[in-house]
Chain A
Amino acid sequence: MDSKGSSQKGSRLLLLLVVSNLLLCQGVVSTPVCPNGPGNCQVSLRDLFDRAVMVSHYIHDLSSEMFNEFDKRYAQGKGFITMALNSCHTSSLPTPEDKEQAQQTHHEVLMSLILGLLRSWNDPLYHLVTEVRGMKGAPDAILSRAIEIEEENKRLLEGMEMIFGQVIPGAKETEPYPVWSGLPSLQTKDEDARYSAFYNLLHCLRRDSSKIDTYLKLLNCRIIYNNNC
């Protein structure tokens, strides 16, 4: 969960992608990777999950690091945490909050929740990058991670949609997802208020990326390994 870890994760991710591509050619399902979408070929579910788990793990690592950086630089002694309670825009999603609840949630529901979370973060991530760029003295550690997370989020969303399509064939509806409306507070002139808004956003991002990561790993073990990881 440090920069070393994240760069390790990055390289592992890259390696995984390469290896997956190789594997897919001779993989379990013995069908080639389909870069242009479904058609004649089909990526195996196992590989999809492997890839998704790696990406979600990576995103959470990056989010944690970004939060810690921000906390260290801008939030010391400010008590921002008190304001961060109940501030996440995704709190309306009925996500399980312990292991038992999660294990009792059907994988369809879990996957919809994952998709909802991913979709609801597209917009805030985009604005986060823009606003961090404009932030005076924003350290590169924060900005680069924000950019990376935004990209990886999109990638994970695509992968999840593929998984969803394979696990629950025929489910094409897109569930509504929570909309983020915190942009004004990110742009406020009051520096403390603005930093507080950033703190909230990063805090929520860290949490939601942890949820996505945990649910995916649960699903992976449940679906692919039959609860025998």
Chain B
Amino acid sequence: GTENPASEVETGQSPPEKPKLVKCRSPGKETFTCWWEPGADGGLPTNYTLTYHKEGETLIHECPDYKTGGPNSCYFSKKHTSIWKMYVITVNAINQMGISSSDPLYVDVTYIVEPEPPANLTLELKHPEDRKPYLWIKWSPPTMTDVKSGWFIIQYEIRLKPEKATDWETHFTPKQTQLKIFNLYPGQKYLVQIRCKPDHGYWSEWSPESSIQIPNDFPVKDTSMWIFVAILSAVICLIMVWAVALKGYSMVTCILPPVPGPKIKGFDVHLLEKGKSEELLRALESQDFPPTSDCEDLLMEFIEVDDCEDQQLMPRPSKEHTEQGVKPMHLDLDSDSGRGSCDSPSLLSEKCDEPQAHPSKFHTPEGPEKLENPETNLTCLQAPQSTSGEGKIPYFLANGPKSSTWPFPQPPSLYSPRYSYHNIADVCELALGMAGTTATSLDQTDQHALKASKTIETGREGKATKQRESEGCSSKPDQDTVWPRPQDKTPLISAKPLEYVEIHKVSQDGVLALFPKQNEKFGAPEASKEYSKVSRVTDSNILVLVPDPQAQNLTLLEEPAKKAPPALP
């Protein structure tokens, strides 16, 4: 506090203001320095003194050295420095008017350690042969730190950056006094700084900047590494080539399996080349129906059966009875009319006396109906009604939009769009059992299912039609056939699938054994049912068959059945 306040008023002089101890620092845990801030001097010359006493002692000492640490400082040499002891330090400002003392500062040297920055920072560019070039940074521990004996434990931090850059790249080193920097940009001038820290204490100031210029031709990478990489790649390539050569095809196949070419069972290209259409078609018979577009022209003639006198159902030797069991019809028909000829062996036939079941009628309805649902033309041809309804063999023809193709009883997958199955509900009903169609919803594919495309489309569409037919034929075959209701305006168009697409055989009694439509999944044809008579012919010229009670469960595995063409309405 101040003394003699009275004189302050008189002379404008006063005792000095209380000084303030700013900080004390020890650079090496062996000495330390304290600095203070003087207050106002009160208009008189003022002296400052620093006094202290140590923990556990009562004796008060004065600062041993006011000079070494600069103005307003007190330096404690080694002799006067004790570690792990509290110093209670006070600074006093004295002038003529009085003395002012600062607040005491409690200092333990252990906790005020702040070293000088590291010394002797040197930068050197090194470019050893066969190794990457680098910048070699070296330095020494700061002054007044005894690192060797372990009294002072130190760690360093180096930072560097290209001159123009804003961000520093920093590196820590726990003890060593050198550092190697790789990945420098050539042509740049780098600035480097370093600082250090004791194991317990404050970081030093950053050293002054050192700079170094990286020459333009400074190699960033070392070439030997790239040579190595190149050789390695070459070796790998060679190995791969060798492996491919050895394994060859199998490897390539493994990686790039060959795209299977389209195949039509039974379709022998060579036969086609030879021009033997008959053989070709024969070969095709055993395959799934419908024939390819190539055969379309050949099949065009098979639509109508005009004159059924000599029609006979000829068991077709089918080469292979595939699951579908649908065979294309024999193809020697008129090519123009699109009407099946009675010679067509695949027709169910007995003598067709009455051409009423006229192919022409059964001819694919053209015109609007066809347009509307060209695909779904199923025509049931009535067998020549030689008898009074017995032994009538329904002919089933499905007309595609072209109306020139035999509709072949096919497995769903084979029901190509070109074969449309008309609502031969009866036929369907007659058809024994479902064709086991996979029957997807026909309705949807109604439009698409039996397109008048030449290509054989399998799968869904066929299935779709199948389903329709199946649906139509789900009910027990009976007399009361329900003609398939025309879906959209065409009576001929219906969703009712034709069930029986295949004439297995015709017995002596004129019993027609029909094969249910086969699911493509089914291998051999399943038991066929026999129909011995046609119960009636509907308006749309669909034959309704009556199953033959006698021979219901014929299984025909041996003979490849002929496929009954769907009857044309």
The residue of chain A having its C-beta at the shortest distance from the C-beta of B85 within the complex is A97
For residue B223, give the distance in angstroms from its CB to the closest CB of chain A. 36
The reply to whether B78 and A220 form a contact with Cβ atoms under 8 Å apart is no
B150 at the interface (CB under 8 A from A): yes
A171 CB-CB contact with B under 8 Å: no
Which residue in chain B gives the minimum CB-CB distance to A226?
B148
Q: Mark A198-229, 1 if CB is under 8 A from B, else 0.
A: 00000000010011011001111110010111
How far does the alpha carbon of A216 sit from the alpha carbon of B147 in the complex, in Å? 14
Check A221 against B82 for contact (C-beta < 8 Å): no
Judge whether A1 is part of the interface by a CB distance below 8 angstroms.
yes
A60 to B84, CA, bound (A): 13
A107 to chain B, nearest CB (A): 12
Among the 9-residue stretches A38-46, A98-106, A134-142, A180-188, the one with 4 or more Cβ atoms under 8 Å from chain B is: A98-106
- Known: A91-B56, A95-B84, A98-B83. Contact between A221 and B200, CB under 8 A? no
Q: Number of contacting residues on A, CB 8 A? A: 32
**Residue in B78, B84, B106, B153 whose beta carbon sits within 8 Å of that of A210 in the complex:** B84
Map CB proximity to A onto B341-379 as digits: 1 under 8 Å, 0 otherwise.
000000000000000000000000000000000000000
What's the nearest-Cβ distance from chain A to residue B224, in Å?
32
User: Do residues B150 and A210 form an inter-chain contact, with CB atoms below 8 A?
Assistant: no
Query: Are B81 and A217 in contact (CB-based, < 8 A)?
Result: no
User: Closest approach, in angstroms, between the C-beta of B61 and any C-beta of chain A?
Assistant: 16
Please indicate which of the listed interface residues B88, B110, B149, B175 has the most CB atoms of chain A within 10 Å of its own CB. B149
Which bracket fits the contact residues of B?
A: 20 to 34
Say yes or no: A210-B149 contact (C-beta < 8 A), given A57-B199, A60-B200: no
Asked if A64 lies at the interface with its beta carbon under 8 angstroms from chain B, I say yes
Partner of B110, one of A86, A99, A207, A229: A207
Q: Which residues of B contact A84 (CB under 8 A)?
A: 86
Name which residue of chain A comes closest to B150, CB basis: A221
| A85-B200 contact, Cβ under 8 Å, with A99-B30, A221-B149, A229-B149 | no
Scan B193-211; emit 1 where CB is below 8 A from any A CB, else 0.
Answer: 0000001100000000000
Closest to A102 in B: B151
**Closest Cβ neighbor of A223 among chain B residues:** B150
What is the predominant secondary structure among interface residues of chain B facing chain A?
A: loop
User: B108 contacts the other chain (Cβ, under 8 Å)?
Assistant: yes
Interface residues of A in 99-147 (CB under 8 A from B): 99-100, 102-103
Q: How far is the CB of B421 from chain A (nearest CB, A)?
A: 79
B148 touches A229 (CB 8 A): yes
Q: How far is the CA of A189 from the CA of B395 in the complex (A)?
A: 115
Considering the complex, which residues of chain B in the window 93-132 have a beta carbon less than 8 Å from any beta carbon of chain A?
106, 108, 110-111
**Contact A1/B200 with A95-B84, A98-B30, A99-B151 known, Cβ cut-off 8 Å:** yes
Note all chain A residues with C-beta closer than 8 A to B108: 207
CB proximity of B44 to chain A, nearest CB, Å = 33
Q: How far is the CB of B157 from chain A (nearest CB, A)?
A: 14
Does A22 count as interface, using CB distance less than 8 angstroms? Answer: no
Q: Which of B411-430 contact A (CB under 8 A)?
A: none
Does A18 lie at the interface of the complex (its beta carbon under 8 Å from any beta carbon of B)?
no
Q: How far is the CA of A227 from the CA of B149 in the complex (A)?
A: 5
Q: How far is the CB of A167 from chain B (nearest CB, A)?
A: 16
For the complex, what is the distance from the CA of A29 to the CA of B464, rounded to whole Å? 85
Smallest distance from the beta carbon of A156 to chain B beta carbons, Å? 16
1/0 contact string of B53-89 vs chain A (CB within 8 Å) = 0011000000000000000000000100111111010
**With an 8 A cutoff between CB atoms, is B460 at the interface?**
no
A97's contact among B82, B147, B148, by CB below 8 Å, is which?
A: B82
A54 to chain B, nearest CB (A): 11
Tell me how far the C-beta of B275 lies from the nearest C-beta in chain A, rounded to whole angstroms: 84
CB–CB A86/B78 < 8 A: no
Find out whether the CB atom of A222 lies under 8 angstroms from the CB atom of B30: no
Asked if B309 CB lies within 8 Å of chain A CBs, one says: no
Closest to A209 in B: B200
User: What separation, in Å, do the CA atoms of A98 and B29 have in the docked complex?
Assistant: 8
How far is it, in angstroms, between the C-alpha of A98 and the C-alpha of B80 when the chains are bound? 10
Query: Min CB distance, A173 to chain B, in Å?
Result: 26
Tell whether, in the assembled complex, residue B110 and residue A210 are in contact, meaning their CB atoms are under 8 Å apart: yes
CB-CB nearest in chain A for B109: A98
- Check if A61 is an interface residue, CB within 8 A of chain B: yes
In the assembled complex, the CB of B102 is this many whole angstroms from the nearest CB of chain A, namely 16
Determine the distance from Cα of A217 to Cα of B78 in the docked complex, in whole angstroms: 20
**A60–B194 alpha-carbon span in the complex (Å):** 26
* Residues in chain A near residue B147, CB distance under 8 A: 229
Q: A210–B200 contact, CB under 8 A?
A: yes
User: Cβ of A99 and Cβ of B150 under 8 Å apart?
Assistant: no
Tell me if B390 is interfacial: C-beta within 8 Å of chain A: no
Hey, which chain A residues are within 8 Å of B175, CB to CB?
Answer: 229
User: Which residues on the A side are within 8 Å of B111 (C-beta)?
Assistant: 64
Complex: how many Å from CA A218 to CA B56?
Answer: 26
Q: How far is the CA of A228 from the CA of B82 in the complex (A)?
A: 24
**Interface contact B150-A85, CB-CB below 8 Å:** no
Query: What is the chain A residue whose CB lies nearest that of B82?
Result: A97
Distance in angstroms from A215 CB to nearest chain B CB is 10
Instruction: Provide the residues of chain B in CB contact with A229, threshold 8 Å.
Output: 147-150, 175
Kindly state whether residue B334 has any CB partner on chain A within 8 Å: no
Complex formed: what's the CA distance from A85 to B107 in Å?
A: 11
List chain A residues, Cβ under 8 A from B148: 221, 227-229
CA separation between A225 and B78, bound complex, in Å?
25
Contact between chains at B56 and A97 (CB < 8 Å): no
B84 & A97 in contact (Cβ 8 Å cutoff): yes
B86 partner residues in chain A, CB cutoff 8 A:
81, 84-85
A103 CA to B146 CA, complexed, in Å = 12
The interface residues of chain B lying within 8 Å CB-to-CB of A219 are 150
Partner of A218, one of B88, B150, B199: B150
The residues in B between 133 and 156 inclusive whose CB is less than 8 angstroms from any CB of A are 146-151, 153
A207 contacts across to B, CB distance below 8 A: 84, 108, 110
Report B's interface with A, CB cutoff 8 A: 29-30, 55-56, 78, 81-86, 88, 106, 108, 110-111, 146-151, 153, 175, 199-200
Given contacts A217-B151, A227-B150, A229-B149, 19 further A-B contacts (CB under 8 A): A60-B200, A64-B111, A81-B86, A84-B86, A85-B56, A98-B82, A99-B29, A99-B146, A103-B149, A210-B84, A214-B83, A217-B153, A218-B150, A218-B151, A219-B150, A225-B150, A227-B149, A229-B147, A229-B148
Give residues in A with beta carbon < 8 Å to B.
1, 57, 60-61, 64, 81, 84-86, 91, 95, 97-100, 102-103, 207, 210-211, 213-214, 217-222, 225, 227-229
Residue contacts A-B, CB under 8 angstroms, 25 given:
A1-B200, A57-B199, A61-B200, A85-B86, A86-B56, A97-B84, A97-B85, A98-B83, A99-B146, A99-B149, A214-B83, A217-B150, A217-B153, A217-B199, A219-B150, A220-B150, A221-B148, A221-B149, A222-B149, A225-B150, A227-B149, A228-B148, A229-B147, A229-B150, A229-B175
3 cross-chain pairs, A with B, having the tightest CB-CB distances, nearest first: A221-B150, A97-B82, A85-B55
